[in-house]
Amino acid sequence: DVVLTQTPPTLSATIGQSVSISCRSSQSLLHSNGNTYLNWLLQRPGQPPQLLIYLVSRLESGVPNRFSGSGSGTDFTLKISGVEAEDLGVYYCVQSTHAPPTFGGGTKLELK
Amino acid sequence: EVQLVESGGGLVQPGRSLKLSCVASGFTFSNYGMNWIRQAPGKGLEWVAYISSGSSYIYYAETVKGRFTISRDNAKNTLYLQMTSLRSEDTALYYCARRSNLYVMDAWGQGASVTVSS
């Protein structure tokens, strides 16, 4: 199975600060069809996960544009440009290029 | 509005069975593949099973293969997870999640809690 390694495991930020989360894959996530199926989820406390970004960099409808995704192959990054209080929670990367789908271990974003 | 509502969770003894349901609304259920994903208390997310829109393709995580069965009834807009031979390590919040045509889990239910304990 593909292993996704997220760093850091915990991130402390102040409101308005920009932060980045890394997700590294044990193998390339480039599918033979040319797509890279790497997505980002946010799980707020006590809530189910919600989709933020899909196909590396595409913003899900309704997600603020302070969120952005980038990367290719095995290295991916989620950036939040100006953290807001509602952004606190655990962020997961998830890949579906290779079966079975696998999740990163999560990055907890908390207030400093 | 897309909605997924799980039910059927509870406390069950090791070795017993339990069946979860997930009722979908707000979209054409029969057009989408569906997943079950679980989250053990205080832990991360683990994919459990997938079923294609017409039930032609079904896949399981190795940790549940042979014990869990995923199924669906498109006429009832309902996804199921039959769990047998339950173990303490199956204790988790079980989410159903829709899979879009871009292989994205783009909608999630609130989850059904399963506790396996004597």
Contact B106 A54 (CB under 8 A): yes
Here the tokens at position A111 are 């207030």
- Residue % of chain B over a pLDDT of 70: 100
Inform me whether the C-beta atom of residue A30 falls under 8 Å from chain B C-beta atoms. no
| Residue pLDDT, tens place only, A85-97 | 999 999 999 999 9
pLDDT at A33: 95
Q: What is the mean pLDDT of residues B79-107?
A: 96
Q: Please, how many CA atoms are within 13 Å of residue A107, restricted to the half-sphere of its CB? A: 26
Q: What is the mean pLDDT of residues B79-98?
A: 98
Mean pLDDT over all residues of chain B?
A: 97
User: Which residues, numbered 45 to 104 in chain B, qualify as contacts with chain A under a Cβ-Cβ cut-off of 8 Å?
Assistant: 45-47, 50, 59, 61, 95, 100, 102-104
Tell me which residue has tokens 């997943």. B35
Instruction: Write out chain A in H/E/C secondary structure.
Output: CCCEEEECCEEEECCCCCEEEEEEECCCCECCCCCECEEEEEECCCCCCEEEEECCCEECCCCCCCEEEEEECCEEEEEECCCCHHHCEEEEEEECCCCCCEECCCEEEEEC
Above 90 in pLDDT, residue A112?
no
Identify which of B45, B106, B111 has the shortest CB distance to residue A103.
B45
pLDDT at A3: 98
B24 burial level (CB within 10 Å; 0-12, 13-18, 19+): buried
pLDDT at A34: 96
Task: Answer whether B109's CB lies under 8 Å from B27's CB.
Answer: no
pLDDT at B102: 87
Local confidence band at A66 (pLDDT 50, 70, 90 cut-offs): very high
Contact A48 B95 (CB under 8 A): yes
Q: How far apart are CA A112 and CA B83, in angstroms?
A: 42
| Residue pLDDT, tens place only, B5-45 | 999 999 999 999 999 999 999 999 999 999 999 999 999 99
Above 90 in pLDDT, residue B81?
yes
| DSSP single-letter state for residue B15 | T
Q: What is the mean pLDDT of residues B86-102?
A: 96
Above 90 in pLDDT, residue B89?
yes
Q: What is the mean pLDDT of residues A54-68?
A: 97
> CB atoms < 10 A from the CB of B78, how many?
18
Here the tokens at position B64 are 């549940």
pLDDT at B101: 86
- Residue % of chain A over a pLDDT of 90: 98
